Chains A and B, each alone.
Chain A
Amino acid sequence: MPLRKLFFVTLLFVTLNGCSSRNPDWKETIPVTGVIHVDGEPAEGIHIKFHPKEGVDTDQTTETKAISDAEGKFTASTYELNDGAPVGEYTLTFEWLKLNPVSMQFGDDQLRGKYSKPDKSEHSVTVASGTPVDIGTIELKGKK
C-alpha cells in the first residue's frame, strides 16, 4: 500500500509543520546554550544579556536574554522561550538578580555589577546561521 503510506507521511508532515506558529516577520533564531558557574558551583538565577556588537537594530528591535536554571544551564530566548538568538556577534553580561514581587522588577545583583557592563565584558559569542551554539561552561567569581 504505497499510496496509503505516502498519505500518512504527508499527514504527519502537515501536522508537524502546523505545530510551529512562528510569526513570518520574526528573524531566524539559532539555539544558544551554556552553563554558568560561580566560584566553581552551578548558579541558579543568573541573568545573561546578549548585547549585539553592531548596536541595537532600530528597524526590527529584538532583545536576547536567558536565565540559568538550578543546574546552571541556560538557553537564549528572543521571541519565544528557548528559541535562541538571531544571527550576529554578541557581548555577554551577567547579573545574579532577585525578583521584587511587588514592583515585578529584577534587582539586587549578587555579583555587585562586576559582570554587568558590556564594554568591560570578556565574554562574547558569535551566532552563525544554521549552527546551534554551545558556549560551554562560563566561570564567574562571586566572592570579593
Chain B
Amino acid sequence: MHRYSQSHRHERVAHSSSCPRRQNTQRPAFTLVELLVVIAIIGILVGLLLPAVQAAREAARRMQCSNNVKQISLAMHNYESAYKTFPLAWWLDIPGGTNIPAANGRSWGISILPFLEQTNLYNQFDQRFPALNELGPIAQANVQLIQQPLSFFKCPSSPWGITEIYEGDASGAGLPVTWNAAGSDYISTTGVRGAFARIAYSGSPGGSRHGALPVQGVFGDNRNGKIGAMVDGTSNTCLIAERTGGPRIYVGTAPAAALTGLLVSTNGGGWGDLLNGENWLSGGLFPNGYDPANPAAYLQEGPCAINCSNIRGRSLHSFHTGGIHFGMGDGSVQFVSASTDAFVIAALITREKGETFTFPQ
C-alpha cells in the first residue's frame, strides 16, 4: 500500500515537473500596451519603407530601359561591323515617285533584328516588299511580322501593353498605304530643325543638322552611314533616343486621347513602322498640364525637346523622372536631363555641326 502510494506520488511529481509553469510560476509575456506600441512602430517603419520600395521599382525599370538602349545601340554597331555602314533609319523607294504598288522600304528596327538574336523573325521578311497592307499578299505577310511584340523595344516604365497593335495610315499625306504594327519606345534621331533649331542655335541654324543614321526617304537624302560621318565624334552624337508611348500619345505623362485619335496612325510608334525612323526634331512647348479643349495647340513647335509630349517630330519622351536615355555613337548610354540647354540637346543629335559643348553631368 505504502509502496504503491509512493510510486503514485512520484508519478505525479514527474508529471508536474514536465510542465512546471502551469500552476505555480507566472509566464513572462507582453502586455497589451507593449504590443500596441510595437505594432505602431512597425507600422511607421513600413510606412517609411513602402515609398522607398516604389522608388526602387522605378529605378529598376529605368535600369532595364537603359539596358534596352544599350543592346539596340550595340546591335547597330554590330550591323556596322557587318556592312561597314550604320543601318538606314528608314528608306522608302517609290519608282517614278508615284508607282506605289512597286514601292519598297524598311525601318532600322527591321534591319537590326539579326543582331538582336531575332534572325528567325528577320528571315521571314520578304525583302522585296515593304510591310504595307495595300501591296499584295507578300507585303501583308510582312505586316503580320511587324506585329510581333519584342520586349527589347519596350521600356518597362512606359504604360502601354506590349501586345497592343495600332493601325498606321499615311493617306493624310497623300500616300494611300496602311499598316499595323506592334509598339516601340525607341527611335532614331534624324536631326534638328524648325523652331527648336532656331532657339538652340540663337537664331542662326545654318549648316548640316543631320543626325547619325543615314536616311533615304521622301524628305531628302543623307546616305552616308559610315562611322566617320560622325564628325563631331561618336561620344558626342547619339544613335537612338527614347520616345516612349508606342501606340498612344501623351502630353507630359498625361494620356491625350484626342491627340491619339488625331496622330497615332502617323506617329511612328512601332519598331517595324517606317515612320519610326523619321524624327526631325522641331521642339514643342513645355508641358503645363493637358487641356483636351484645343489638342491642335500641342502641335506647335517650340523650345522643349525632352518629355514635353511623345508627338513625333516635336519631342523626345520617357516616363522616367527628369530625363531620357540617349544611346550614343560610342556604345554608351547617357541619361540626359529634361532641363538641359537646347543647344546641348541639339549638339548631341547632330553629327557634323561642329558644336563645342560640355556634356551635362
Contacts and interface: CB of A to CB of B under 8 A. Distances in A.
B219 A103 contact: yes
Contacts of B300: 65-67, 77, 81
Given A79-B286, A81-B298, A101-B173, A56 B203 contact: yes
B285 A56 contact: no
Contact of B287 (A63, A69, A80, A102): A80
Contact of B313 (A56, A80, A104): A104
B202 A81 contact: no
Contact of B299 (A57, A66, A99, A102): A99
Contacts of B282: 104-105
B172 interface: yes
A102 B278 contact: yes
A104 B203 CA distance: 21
Nearest to B219: A103
B285 A77 contact: yes
Given A58-B203, A79-B286, A63 B198 contact: yes
B297 A81 contact: yes
B193 to A, nearest CB: 8
A56 B170 contact: no
Contacts of A58: 202-204
A77 B298 CA distance: 11
Contacts of B198: 56, 61, 63
A56 B291 contact: no
B312 interface: yes
Given A61-B202, A67-B297, A102 B275 contact: yes
Contact of A102 (B173, B301, B311): B173
Contact of B172 (A63, A79, A101): A101
B6 interface: no
Nearest to B339: A23
A85 to B, nearest CB: 13
Contacts of A78: 302-303
B296 interface: yes
B244 to A, nearest CB: 18
B291 A67 contact: no
A110 interface: no
B288 interface: yes
Contact of B314 (A59, A82, A104): A104
B267 to A, nearest CB: 9
Contacts of A80: 285-288
B195 A69 contact: no
Interface in A32-69: 45, 56-59, 61-63, 65-67, 69
A100 interface: yes
Given A61-B198, A63-B195, A67-B297, A100 B302 contact: no
Contacts of B82: none
B278 A62 contact: no
B103 to A, nearest CB: 14
Contacts of B311: 104
Interface in B265-309: 265-266, 275, 278, 280, 282, 285-288, 291, 293-294, 296-304
Interface in B165-213: 170, 172-173, 175, 194-195, 198-199, 202-204
A81 B199 contact: no
B113 interface: no
B221 to A, nearest CB: 14
A102 B266 contact: yes
A56 B296 contact: no
A33 to B, nearest CB: 13
Given A61-B203, A63-B199, 8 more contacts: A23-B339, A58-B202, A58-B204, A67-B297, A69-B297, A82-B297, A101-B266, A104-B313
26 contacts: A21-B288, A23-B339, A56-B198, A57-B203, A58-B204, A61-B198, A61-B202, A65-B195, A65-B300, A67-B296, A67-B299, A69-B294, A69-B297, A77-B297, A78-B302, A79-B302, A79-B304, A80-B285, A81-B300, A83-B288, A102-B170, A102-B218, A102-B275, A103-B280, A104-B282, A106-B299
